[in-house]
Amino acid sequence: MEKRFEAYGWHTITVEDGNDCTWIDCALQDAKAETSRPSIIFIRTTIGCGAPHKEGTFEAHGSPLGAEEVLAAKKFLGWPAEPAFFIPDDALAFFRSAVDRGREWEEQWEKDFTQYRNEFPELAAEFTRVMEGRLPDGWESRPPSYPDGTKDTATRKASESAMQTLASSLPELMGGSADLNPSTFTWLKGLGDFQKPGMPQENTQGAVGGAWGYDGRNIHFGVREHAMGAIAVGMALHGGIIPYTATFLTFSDYMRPPIRLAALMGLRILFVFTHDTIGLGEDGPTHQPIEHIMNLRAVPNLTVIRPADANEAVESWKAALLNQAGPTALIFTRQNLPVLSRSELSPASGLQRGGYTLWDSSPAKPDIILLGTGSEVLIALEAGRNLASEGRRVRVISLPSWDIFDRQPAEYRDQVLPPDVRIRIAVEAGIKLGWEHYVGLDGAVVGMDGFGASAPAKVLYEKFGITAEHMVKAAKELAR
Amino acid sequence: MEKRFEAYGWHTITVEDGNDCTWIDCALQDAKAETSRPSIIFIRTTIGCGAPHKEGTFEAHGSPLGAEEVLAAKKFLGWPAEPAFFIPDDALAFFRSAVDRGREWEEQWEKDFTQYRNEFPELAAEFTRVMEGRLPDGWESRPPSYPDGTKDTATRKASESAMQTLASSLPELMGGSADLNPSTFTWLKGLGDFQKPGMPQENTQGAVGGAWGYDGRNIHFGVREHAMGAIAVGMALHGGIIPYTATFLTFSDYMRPPIRLAALMGLRILFVFTHDTIGLGEDGPTHQPIEHIMNLRAVPNLTVIRPADANEAVESWKAALLNQAGPTALIFTRQNLPVLSRSELSPASGLQRGGYTLWDSSPAKPDIILLGTGSEVLIALEAGRNLASEGRRVRVISLPSWDIFDRQPAEYRDQVLPPDVRIRIAVEAGIKLGWEHYVGLDGAVVGMDGFGASAPAKVLYEKFGITAEHMVKAAKELAR
C-alpha cells in the first residue's frame, strides 16, 4: 500500500505501533508539515487488541466480542469488570478537555468574524450567504432562451449555455467532468482551472482558460467517476460550494455509491449525465444507457430531471439549483433536438412542477394521454398530432422529473393526469419497467426491453420501435 | 503506473516506442517467460500517430479524423489516396497467414483430442460437457429440503446447504466472495482454496479446507466487488466453469459494470447477494439496500431471484443453474425466517415459474390479491389470513422472480394474477417504484420511500410500516 501511494506521488508515513499514541502524534505533525503534496498515514495495529482469544482474528471484526471475551479483555487491560460500559478517568478527562478547547476556539472565531464583518460587510454577507446555501438575488436573471425557429440544439449544448450565465451570478458553482469536457460541455469558460499553482497553463490541452490555481472553478477530475462523485460529496459537506460533476449516463454505474451517499446525506450536488440513450449512436450497447434513468429514479431523495428540449434544459438547471434537500441528476442528449415551438405549446417553465400538459388537441377532456421525457417528447407530440388528425382527443404530457411531479399536490397531478383517463401511452428510450407508475395495467409503454446496438440514432429508434407510429398503434389498440 | 503495478508485486515491462513492433514482440516474450507472477506491458505510443494536425491531441480520440486529415495522414505514410479504405499488401499477407496457422493448430488439436477421447472416454466426455455448459444427469439429486417444523433458517444459510450438495455433482461450480464468506456463507467446504501453490495452508485464516493450489474451487477475491465481477466474467467467457460471486446486496452498487457486461454477453454467472433489506438491522442505512433489488430487475437479461424461505432458496439455486441465457442475481436474507409450511401451502418448486399462488383462502376466485417476495412473503401470508378470517376471499402470491414470471405464457400469468382482480397489494422492504407493474394504478404497495435506519430488524419493519397490519388496512381501503 505504501508503495502504491508513493507511485501516486503522495507523502507516505508509517506508524509501526498504532497502540503508541506518541508515534501517531508525530505522524500527524509530519503530515501537517508537508504542504506540497497529500500525505497518507499507515498505522499498524492488531485487530481486537487486548481481547485474548479474538485478538488478531477476523472474529474481532465481523461480530461483537461477546460478554465473556469483553470480561477477559478488561482483565487483560487491568480494568474493573463493572460497570459494563467503563470509561477510565484519565480518558474521560482528556476527551472532556476538548469541550473547553472547542469553546475557546469558537469564541475566538466569532470575535474575528464580527471584526471582519465590521470591516468588510459585503464580503462577510457573501460568505454567510454561500455557507448557508442561499442563492443570491437575481441569480436566475438573463438565462439563455431559445425562441421559436432556433436551430436544432442538443440539450447538452443548452446546458452549457445555461451554466455560463448561472456561473456568472453564482461564484459558489464549481465542478468539472471525468475527462469529458469536450463531450459533456460542462466547462465554465474563462473561469479558471483548479490546478496546482505554478504548473504550465498556456496552451495546456484541456485547459478552460482564466486563472490557473486554487481559485480556478473548473476541476479536472480525470477518468474516475467514483472518485469524482466522492470529491463532490466532500465539497458539498464542506459548504460554501455547489459542486457539479459530469460524465456519460452509462458511466453513472461507476459512481452509484457516492450518488447514494449524497442522497442519504441530503447534499445539493448536481450530477450531470449526457449521451442519455441509444440516441448517442455508433458507440453501441456498452455506451448506451438502458436501465440507468430508471435506476437513478429509484434512489430515494435523488431528483432526476430529463429535459425535452433546449428551453427545458435551462429550466432543469434552475430546478436543480433550487433543490436544497438533496442531489439532482441532470440528464441530457448528445444528439440535436428541435426546439419545441412554445408559441404553440405550454411554456418550458412547467418543468418546475416536474410534469405538465404540453399540448391538448382540444379544450375538452382528453380520451388519450401520451407521456414522454427528454428526446422522446417529440415522438409523443408527433403521435398526438397524428391521433388528433383522426379526430381523437389527445393530451401530450412532458414529464421531465417524476420526483418533482410526485411531490406536487394531488390536485395538480390529477389535473394533468385525470385519474379516469386510462388510455395512457408512455414513451422513453430506456427500460420499460417502472412506467406502469403512470400508465398502470391498462396503458402501454413504448420503450426498450433489451440492450441497444451500434448504428446512427435514427436507425436505432426505428429498429427498436421507439416511434410515433408505434405509439399511435398502441393508442388505437387500447382505444378499441 | 509502472510503480503502482510494481507495488502490487507484478512484473512490469515498458516499451518506449510502441510503433516499433520488434520491441512489442520482445516484451511479449519477456512476459511469457515470467511464470511466477502476472506481467503488465506498458506501451508508449503517440495518439493519432501519422495524422499531421491531430497527432498527440485529444481530437484524435473523441471524434473521427475527418476526410481531409485522413488524406494528409495517408500522404505522411506514403499511401495512395484511393481507395478510401486501403490495406497495404504486406499487412494483408501477414494477417492472412494467420488463417493457415490457425487451421493447422486447430487440426492438430482435433487430432490430439480424438486420441485423448479414445484413451480416456469418460474424462473426454466430461470435458466436452463442461465446455458446452451442459449440466450432468442427476445434478439436482439429493438437494437439501426443509420439512414442516424445521427451525427458522436464514435464506443465506439454506443457500449454503444447497451449494454444498450442488458442488458435489457440479465440478464446474467455482467462486467465492469479496472477503465475506463468514457472512455470505458462500464457501464450498473442503473443496480447496484457489491460491498460489506452496503458500501456507494449515490454519490460515479464512481457508476453506481441502487442496491449496490451482485446483481449489474457493476463490478469495478480497474486498473488491468490481474486480470480483470482472473476474467472474472472464471465467465464464473462458468456458468450462460456472462462476459465482458473493457480497452484501448494498455493495452490488460497486459491481454494476461487470454485472451489466455479463448480461450483455449472456454469460451464466451466479451473483449472490445477502443482507438484502433493512432486515439486516443495526449496520444501518449505508448497508441497507433500498433501491437495489429494483435496480437489478431493471438490467436487461439479468434474472433476479429473491426466495421467500429455505425451500425457495434451494429452488433458486436450481433456477440459476438452469438459466444459460444470462446471469442470475440470487438475493438472500441475513435474518432467520420461518420455513413456510408446505403441507398447507403450494410447493416451493413453483419458484421455477417465477411466481405462483402460494395460498388461496377459498377455491373461489379471489377478491383480493396479496403479492410479496423474500422475507415479506410471510407478511403477505399473515395479512391474507387476517383478511380471510374476516370473510374476504384472498390469494397470496409468492413472486421470487419477476423475470422468470414475465417469461411464462400469458395463460399461466393470467391464472395466477386474474386480470380483472384489481385489488392487489404488494409488499417488499425495498423501493416501491416498479411494483405498479403488477398492482397498477388501482392497487397499493407496502414498501420503502426513503432510506433505512439502525435498529433491530423487528423495530425497523414496524417503524417503516412493512407489516401485515398495514397490508390489511390498504386492502380494506381499496375494497371499500
**Confidence at B201, pLDDT banded by 50, 70, 90:** low
Burial of B6 per CB tally in 10 Å (0-12, 13-18, 19+): middle
How far apart, in Å, do the first and last CA atoms of chain A sit?
67
Rounded-to-integer distance, Cα A81 and Cα A75, Å = 7
A253 vs B257: CB contact, 8 Å cut-off? Answer: yes
- The helix (H) or strand (E) run that includes residue A42 is strand A39-43
Q: Which helix (H) or strand (E) holds A462?
A: helix A457-463
Segment holding A244, helix H or strand E:
strand A242-248
The answer to whether A142 faces chain B, any CB pair under 8 Å, is no
CA B391, B396, B400: angle at the middle one, nearest 5?
170
Q: Which amino acid is at B406?
A: D
String of DSSP letters for A151-171? PPEEHHHHHHHHHHHHHHH-T
In this prediction, residue B200 carries a pLDDT of: 67
Residues A196-242 pLDDT 10s: 888 766 678 889 988 899 999 999 999 999 999 999 999 999 999 99
Distance in angstroms (rounded) separating the CA atoms of residues A237 and A266: 10
Per-residue burial over A252-261, b if 16 or more Cβ lie within 10 Å, else e, is bbbbbbbbbb
SS3 assignment, position A248: strand
Cα distance between residue B300 and residue A449, in whole Å? 7
Q: Encode pLDDT of A72-98 as tens digits.
A: 999 998 999 999 899 999 999 999 999
**Strand B394-398 with B356-360, pairing:** antiparallel
List pLDDT tens digits, range A356-414: 999 999 999 999 999 999 999 999 999 999 999 999 999 999 999 999 999 999 999 99
The pLDDT confidence band at residue A141, using thresholds 50, 70 and 90, is confident
Residue B2 has what pLDDT? 95
Question: Taking CB atoms and an 8 Å limit, are B7 and A8 in contact across chains?
Answer: no
The pLDDT assigned to B404 comes to: 98
CA distance, residue A206 to nearest chain B CA (Å)? 8
Find all residues with CB under 8 Å of A284, minimum gap 6, and list them: A452, A453, A454
- The residues of B annotated as belonging to the active site are 225
Average pLDDT, chain A: 96
Q: A444, A396 in Cβ contact below 8 A? A: no
Among A268, A470, A466, smallest CA distance to A387 is for A470
**One of A69, A140, A172, A225 is an active-site residue; which one?**
A225
Asked if A288 and A280 touch (Cβ cutoff 8 Å), the reply is: yes
CA A286 to chain centre: 22
CA distance A127 to chain B (A): 32
What pLDDT, on a 0 to 100 scale, did the predictor assign at position B260? 98
Q: B455 phi and psi, to 5 degrees? A: -175, 170
| Interface ipTM | 0.95
Share of chain A above pLDDT 90, in %: 92
Closest partner CB to A285 (pick from B7, B205, B264): B264
Q: Which residue has the cell 383478511?
A: B387
Q: Is A256 helix (H, G, I), strand (E, B) or coil?
A: helix
**Residues 268-297 in A contacting B (C-alpha not used; CB under 8 Å):** 285-286, 290-291, 294-295, 297
Minimal-distance CA residue of chain B relative to A424:
B441
* Cell numbers standing for residue A152: 436544432
CB A443 within 8 A of CB A478: yes
How would you class A290 by CB atoms within 10 Å of its CB: exposed for 0-12, middle for 13-18, buried for 19 or more?
A: buried
Residue pLDDT, tens place only, B386-441 = 999 999 999 999 999 999 999 999 999 999 999 999 999 999 999 999 999 999 99
Cell numbers 511469457 correspond to B32
The per-residue pLDDT for A59 is 85
Whether the CB of B4 is below 8 Å from some CB of chain A: the reply is yes
pLDDT surpassing 70 at residue B37: yes
The whole-angstrom separation of Cα A157 and Cα B427 is: 43
Q: Which helix (H) or strand (E) holds A328?
A: strand A328-331
The angle subtended at Cα A295 by Cα A289 and Cα A300, nearest 5°, is 150
Angle at Cα B235 formed by Cα B229 and Cα B238, nearest 5°? 145
CB B427 within 8 A of CB B447: yes
Confidence of residue B58 (pLDDT cuts 50, 70, 90): confident
Q: What is the 3-state secondary structure (H, E, C) of B130-190?
A: HHHCCCCCCCCCCCCCCCCCCCCEEHHHHHHHHHHHHHHHCCCEEEEECCCHHHHCCCCCC
Question: Are B354 and B297 a contacting pair, CB within 8 Å?
Answer: no
Neighbours of B139 (CB within 10 A): 17
Binding-face residues of A in 146-185 toward B, CB within 8 A:
182-183
- For chain A positions 96-125, those within 8 Å of chain B (CB to CB) are none
DSSP summary character for residue A268: -
* B370-383: pLDDT as tens digits: 999 999 999 999 99
Mutation site, A441, A464, A478, interface B, largest B CB count within 10 A: A441
Check CB contact under 8 Å for A4 and B1: no
3 state SS of A175: strand
* pLDDT over 90 at A339, yes or no: yes
Between B298, B301, B419, which is nearest A295 by CB?
A: B298
pLDDT band at B202 (very low <50, low <70, confident <90, very high): low
| Contact at CB, B294 and A291, closer than 8 angstroms | no
Are the beta carbons of B193 and B210 closer than 8 angstroms?
Answer: yes
- A100 burial (CB, 10 Å; 0-12 / 13-18 / 19+) is exposed
The three-state DSSP-derived secondary structure of chain B is CHHHHHHCCCEEEEECCCCCHHHHHHHHHHHHHCCCCCEEEEECCCCCCCCCCCCCCCHHHHCCCCHHHHHHHHHHHCCCCCCCCCCCHHHHHHHHHHHHHHHHHHHHHHHHHHHHHHHCHHHHHHHHHHHHCCCCCCCCCCCCCCCCCCCCEEHHHHHHHHHHHHHHHCCCEEEEECCCHHHHCCCCCCCCEECCCCCCCCCCCCCCCCCEECCCCEEECCCCHHHHHHHHHHHHHHCCCEEEEEEEHHHHHHHHHHHHHHHHHCCCCEEEEECCCHHHCCCCCCCCCCCHHHHHHCCCCCEEECCCCHHHHHHHHHHHHHCCCCCEEEECCCCEECCCCCCCCCCHHHHHHCCEEEEECCCCCCCEEEEECHHHHHHHHHHHHHHHHCCCCEEEEECCCHHHHHCCCHHHHHHHCCCCCCEEEEEEEEECCCCHHHHCCCCEEEEECCCCCCCCHHHHHHHCCCCHHHHHHHHHHHHC
Question: Measured between CB atoms, does A434 come within 8 Å of chain B?
Answer: yes
The per-residue pLDDT for A64 is 87
Which residues on A lie below 8 Å from B263 (Cβ)? Answer: 451
Chain B nearest-CA distance from A126, in A, is: 34
Backbone φ and ψ of B366, nearest 5°: -75, 155
Residue B217 has pLDDT above 80, yes or no: yes
- Looking only at the bridges linking them, the beta strands covering B218-220 and A242-248 are unpaired
Instruction: Tell me the shortest Cα–Cα distance from B291 to chain A, in angstroms.
Output: 5
Say whether B433 and A434 touch across the interface (CB within 8 A): yes
CB contact under 8 A, A448 and B300: yes
Residue B137, all three cell numbers: 444427469
Q: Is A431 on the interface with B (CB under 8 A)?
A: yes
Chain B residue with the nearest C-alpha to that of A59:
B182
- pLDDT for A441 equals 97
Is-cis flag, bond preceding A143, omega within 30?
Answer: no
Task: Establish if A30 touches chain B: CB-CB under 8 angstroms.
Answer: no
Is B301 near chain A, with CB under 8 Å? yes
Segment B113-134 shows an average pLDDT of 97
Task: Annotate A119-140 with b (16+ C-beta within 10 A) or e (fewer).
Answer: eeeeebeeeebbeeeebeeebb
**What is the number of other CB atoms lying within 10 angstroms of the CB of residue A450?**
13
B70–A contact, CB cutoff 8 A: no
User: Do A275 and A287 touch, CB atoms closer than 8 A?
Assistant: yes
Per-residue pLDDT tens over the stretch B434-443: 999 999 999 9
Cβ contact (<8 Å) for A257 and B260? no
Task: Provide the chain B residues 244-273 that lie in CB contact (below 8 A) with chain A.
Answer: 253-254, 256-257, 260-261, 263-264
Distance CA A250, CA B280 (A): 30
Q: Which grid cell is A304? A: 432526476
Beta strands A39-43 and A193-194, pairing class: unpaired
| Closest residue of chain B to A204, computed from CA coordinates | B57
pTM above 0.90, yes or no: yes
The reply to whether B407 touches chain A by the CB within 8 Å rule is no
Q: With a cut of 70, say whether residue A322 has pLDDT above it.
A: yes
Q: Which of B80-94, B120-134, B342-356 comes out lowest in average pLDDT?
A: B80-94
Query: Rounded to 10 degrees, what is the CA torsion of B205, B210, B216, B221?
Result: -20
